[in-house]
Amino acid sequence: MQLQLESPLDMHLHLRQDDMLKIVAPLSAASFAGAVIMPNLLPPVDSAERLANYRRAIDAAVGDLTFEPYMTLFFRDYSEGELLTLREHIIGIKLYPAGVTTNSDAGVAALEAAESTIGRMEDLGIPLLVHGETNDFVMDREEAFLSVYDRLAQRFPRLQITMEHITTRRAVELLERHDNLRATVTLHHLLITLDDLAGGLLNPHLFCKPIAKRPEDRQALLEAALAAHPRLMFGSDSAPHPLSSKECSGCAAGVFTAPIALPMLAELFERHGALDKLQDFVSGNAQRLYGITPPPKVVRLHKEEFHIPAAYGPVVPMNAGGTVTWCLS
Ligand code: NCD
Ligand code: ZN
């Protein structure tokens, strides 16, 4: 049995820098025609120069493979002049509340103060991508942020807002309330709950932000993904950290899924009789919502047991050592 995907896209990806970038970028480019590249480097990607340098480094790491990096900037106050010159080079600007996740210390401390830049983005048609978590109790952080999305969506009705990596039933419900909200969802949040991370032996390779939630949350995400909900897109949030930063006291947040994402999505969608929805979930919806035309690229998968490697260089993938029923051809 064969499966053919046209220009699959990963709408939320961490490619890192230097040696890590060289290892992980070709793995994404083997599966995807393009990806939205997160800007949470140290220092963050928040100037024309850093953006151009990062884009060049990604292109070099990808080499001859067909892969479009849709670049993002790290949110800060940007003048209209800056936004006018930067906008043709980016797909959007990513807002991190200060301190909520990896490399977000330079994020936004007070959202009210961010509103003048957000207003300029609305006027210039630049999408806002958001890590929607507060500093509340860890299981409640996303739900506590939903009122912020609600307010932003109303106050800036022409602004396209992406709720990144949603993890709760309430977030799926919010999507229905505003036409200018869309969301990404990861592979791991479709598959796991907090139990898989911490219910038995602790599995640091499933530790990420936002943390995996309850079975009813996973169920709501899964139903929306399997139906290719028109405002939901696949975004892996594949976030590699070296083994030494994961298997230690003080484990870094992030799940590495880039090389296994498409085989595992095929397995999941097949199991639920929804393979016909996978194309829209991994490409069609994103193309329509962002108005992008990715490079033509046909990615083929076939039914064959794929053994997930124990590691890719220094990085351990989700389900390392396990098997998947689909394989990249
Ligand atoms: C991401 C990372 O490591 O950069 N970590 C994560 O747990 N998802 C940052 C992020 O997207 O929150
Ligand atoms: Zn991320």
> Mind listing the pLDDT tens digit for each residue in 215-250?
999 999 999 999 999 999 999 999 999 999 999 999
Q: Which of 10, 11, 14 has most ligand 1 atoms within 8 Å of CB, for mutation?
A: 14
The model's pLDDT over 257-294, given as tens digits with 9 standing for 90+, comes to: 999 999 999 999 999 999 999 999 999 999 999 999 99
Ligand 1: centre distance to CA 101 (Å): 6
Place 72 in a pLDDT band, splitting at 50, 70 and 90. very high
Which atom of ligand 1 is found nearest the CA of 101?
A: 12
How far is 172 from 13, CA to CA, in rounded Å?
21
Q: What is the mean pLDDT of residues 193-217?
A: 98
Q: What is the pTM of this model?
A: 0.98
Average pLDDT, the chain: 98
Residues 122-150 as b/e (b if ≥16 CB within 10 A, e otherwise) read: beeebbbbbbbbbeeeebebbbebbeebe
Mean pLDDT lowest for which of 97-101, 117-121, 130-134, 165-169? 97-101
- Give CATH for domain 2-328: 3.20.20.140
Catalytic residue among 10, 46, 217, 237: 237
* Cα-Cα-Cα-Cα dihedral sign, residues 201, 202, 203, 209: positive
How far is 307 from 320, CA to CA, in rounded Å?
8
How far is 300 from 321, CA to CA, in rounded Å?
23
Place 305 in a pLDDT band, splitting at 50, 70 and 90. very high
Residues 277-290 as b/e (b if ≥16 CB within 10 A, e otherwise) read: bbbbbbbbbbbebb
Active site residue 237: yes
The model's pLDDT over 116-133, given as tens digits with 9 standing for 90+, comes to: 999 999 999 999 999 999
Q: What is the mean pLDDT of residues 15-27?
A: 98
**Cβ burial, residue 99 (10 Å; 0-12/13-18/19+):** exposed
Residues 6+ apart with CB under 8 A from 54: 17, 37, 39, 41, 45, 71
Beta bridge partner(s), residue 307: 323
Is pLDDT of 310 > 90?
Answer: yes
Instruction: Give the number of whichever ligand sits closest to the CA of residue 254.
Output: 1
Ligand 2: centre distance to CA 51 (Å): 18
Residues 6+ apart with CB under 8 A from 119: 156
Is pLDDT of 102 > 90?
Answer: no
**28 contacts 37 by C-beta, under 8 angstroms:** no
pLDDT at position 222: 98
